[in-house]
A = this chain, B = another copy of it.
Amino acid sequence: MKNKILKFRKDKGFTQDALAKKCNVSRQTINAIENDRYDPTLQLAFKIARVLNTTVDDIFQP
């Protein structure tokens, strides 16, 4: 599943670690999702979308 996490994250000036902390997950989890190694749970997808001020439908493309 492709995603625009990098784009939105850079726009906000967040590091992977900073985004991870705001989402209450590990940095490795954000890294893996951003680099498309696996998909987040639906819960985490919503958390990422909200922290980055966007929607699940906008940030993820199946």
Count copies of this chain in the complex: 2
How many A residues have CB within 8 A of the partner chain? 15
- Residues from chain B with a CB closer than 8 A to the CB of A56 are 42, 45, 55-57, 60
A17 at the A/B interface (Cβ < 8 Å)?
Answer: no
- Residues from chain B with a CB closer than 8 A to the CB of A45 are 42, 45, 56
Q: How does the 8 Å CB contact mask read for A41-62 relative to B, with 1 for contact and 0 for none? A: 1110111010000011100101
Considering only residues 18-62 of chain A, those with a C-beta below 8 Å from chain B are: 39-43, 45-47, 49, 55-57, 60, 62
Taking a contact as CB atoms under 8 Å apart, the answer to whether B62 and A1 are in contact is no
Q: Sort A-B residue pairs by CB-CB distance and give the 4 closest, nearest first.
A: A46-B62, A56-B56, A39-B42, A55-B57
